[in-house]
Amino acid sequence: MKFSVLLPTRNRLKYLKYAVDSVLAQDYENWEIIISDNDSQEDIHSYIQSLNDPRIKYFRTKTFVSVTENWNNSINHCTGDYVIMLGDDDILLNKYFSTMIQLLQQYNYPNLIYANAYIYTYPGVIPQKPAGTLHSCINYPVFQDSKKPFWLTKELAMRLVQGHLNFNAHFGTNMQYILMKKSVIEKTKIDNQFFYSPYPDVYVMNVMMLETEKVLICPKEMVVIGVTPKSTGNFLVNNNEKGGMDFLNTSKELTSLESLSSIILPSSPSLTSWLIAMETVKIHLKDKHNLKVNYFRYRYLQIESVVKGFFSQTRNKSKADVIELFRLLSLGEKSAFFAPLFIMHFMKRFFPTSIKRLVGNLYDKLFNLSNIKSILFIKEKFSNIYELFEQEENGKLFSKEQIKAMLEANLAGRSIEEICKSNGISQAFLEKWKNQLQSSAPSLDKRDDSLQNKVDALLNSIQNSSVKN
């Protein structure tokens, strides 16, 4: 079985090397990497030549094209049986291919596997988190609080897509989450094109959720999605959406659908890209599904974006932006949305802390763009994304809560093997700590009042050697 790893890239050679290294370090060799270089100024080609590996294939666009066109360019060159796309700032985790082969064989070769991921922000990306962050996506609703793989039902698929139609994400739409069968990709193409819209991943993920049979959901983290100072995510986090659109080269596609000309409002190009992606899904699947994009909520969110930006500390929206937006609103939108939001943001500066907190909680419920219960942060510092590959390989990417639950379950009589299997803990971690857990944990008397202290003491000894708190 052959895997294709698609790696579209532009001017991020430093990070691309980590992505390629994560494939080269896998314990399975029947793969290819498709490098689709989007007219980089950096010398990507010389780096690929230096690797001297025929499995790594290099293609370059003649000019700087949109992210959508470059992604189509990469997928049209792949020859594997199954395909995954990485950003050039992402990595595969250890044993990605061999784990996927086990799942494919165990579940009779699904057409698509949607697996969990870590998201890693490099130091310096988030001003409030200067050391960077790492978190798991396990709390996304798509995983249904399950610890084992399960089949996606039609009902769940529709609920997930409906969330995106309402501008409320129930699952991550980065392409890195999915491994796709090549034959299914070919069947999904329209006019020989797989990716559409300014947000090609949002488009494809929602189409695949609705149209693909035999989709396996796997809660185990299999990849790391990177957010670097050169990533689109960095532009979004730091309120520079125009910079993000320029980086993706998708500004022309923001006006690509005439049917939306009376719907689109200025302010957030990322929201408009989301709108166009879902409208394109609706158009392409109109003969199979009666999908409705929530234009009402889209405009509501755009109004909020302008007003919030105008009153924010960074003042990323000007008086001219507010006037332009106001001119485009209906009388009902001005009175029902714009005026209350404007007054609320103006008065918020005078509220006491308790009222600000109450208003903030209500505000989050109204304007939240995702339906994630909570984010599972792993308190670890990494200087670059490839360190995650090395740490996971040695069984170190586990949270304090995971290990504590494992210890307590062992005290209750469950075997180490059973606990690790049910919690998705790797074999590397199991082998590393099995002897210590078996020799230490059973010696703790379940009737002892100081049980919690003893569990914490053992946990701390493991934390100091393995899992950083």
User: CATH no. for residue 205?
Assistant: 3.90.550.10
- The DSSP code sequence of 297-366 is HHHHHHHHHHHHHHHSTT--S-HHHHHHHHHHS-HHHIIIIIHHHHHHHHHHTTS-HHHHHHHHHHHHHH
> Closest Cα to residue 403, out of 373, 438, 429?
429
Q: Considering the domain boundaries, does residue 386 fall inside one? A: no
Q: Return the pLDDT at 447.
A: 41
Q: Considering the domain boundaries, does residue 203 fall inside one? A: yes
Last residue of a domain, one of 216, 235, 254: 235
Contacts for 113 with CB less than 8 Å, ≥ 6 apart: 100, 103, 104, 178, 179, 215, 216, 218
Q: Considering the domain boundaries, does residue 248 fall inside one? A: no
Is the confidence at residue 454, as pLDDT, over 80?
A: no
Cβ atoms of 210 and 158 closer than 8 Å: yes
The structure tokens listed for 383 are 């200087």
Gap between the Cα atoms of 429 and 396, Å rounded: 7
Amino acid in position 156:
L
Q: How confident is the model at residue 419 (pLDDT cuts 50, 70, 90)?
A: low
Q: Considering the domain boundaries, does residue 300 fall inside one? A: no
Q: Return the pLDDT at 469.
A: 30
CA 134 to chain centre: 12
What are 87-141's pLDDT values in tens digits?
Answer: 999 999 989 999 999 999 999 999 999 999 999 989 888 888 888 888 888 888 9
* Owning domain of residue 426: 394-465
Q: Return the pLDDT at 65.
A: 96
Q: Considering the domain boundaries, does residue 179 fall inside one? A: yes
Contacts for 131 with CB less than 8 Å, ≥ 6 apart: 123, 381
Sign of the torsion angle spanned by Cα atoms 211, 212, 214, 220:
negative
Cβ atoms of 189 and 353 closer than 8 Å: no
Q: Residue 242 CB: number of other CB atoms within 10 A?
A: 11
The structure tokens listed for 192 are 């020989």
Quote the percentage of the chain above a pLDDT of 90: 55
What are 313-358's pLDDT values in tens digits?
Answer: 776 788 999 999 999 999 999 998 899 888 888 877 777 766 666 6
Cβ atoms of 168 and 370 closer than 8 Å: yes
Q: Return the pLDDT at 407.
A: 61
Q: Return the pLDDT at 397.
A: 55
> Closest Cα to residue 151, out of 142, 141, 139, 140?
142
Q: Residue 317 CB: number of other CB atoms within 10 A?
A: 21
Cβ atoms of 395 and 466 closer than 8 Å: yes
Total domain count for the chain?
A: 2
Q: Is 320 exposed, middle or buried (0-12, 13-18, 19+ CB in 10 A)?
A: exposed
- The DSSP code sequence of 409-420 is HHHTT--HHHHH
Cβ atoms of 86 and 191 closer than 8 Å: no
Average pLDDT of the residues in 242-254: 79
Last residue of a domain, one of 235, 262, 296: 235
Q: Considering the domain boundaries, does residue 48 fall inside one? A: yes
What are 383-415's pLDDT values in tens digits?
Answer: 788 777 776 655 455 554 555 566 666 656 666
Last residue of a domain, one of 235, 264, 281: 235
Exposure string over 389-411, b if 16+ CB within 10 A, otherwise e: bebbeebbbbbbebbbebbbbbb
Q: Return the pLDDT at 87.
A: 94
Q: Considering the domain boundaries, does residue 406 fall inside one? A: yes
CA distances from 269 to 8, 42, 81, 235, 402 (A): 22, 28, 36, 12, 39
Average pLDDT, the chain: 83
Q: Considering the domain boundaries, does residue 121 fall inside one? A: yes
Helix and strand element counts for the chain (H, E): 20, 11
What are 131-170's pLDDT values in tens digits?
Answer: 888 888 888 899 998 989 999 999 999 999 999 999 999 9
CA 282 to chain centre: 23
> Closest Cα to residue 224, out of 15, 10, 374?
15
Strands (E) located in 344-464: 376-377
pTM of the model: 0.82
What backbone phi and psi angles, to 5 degrees, belong to 141?
-55, -25
Q: Return the pLDDT at 256.
A: 73
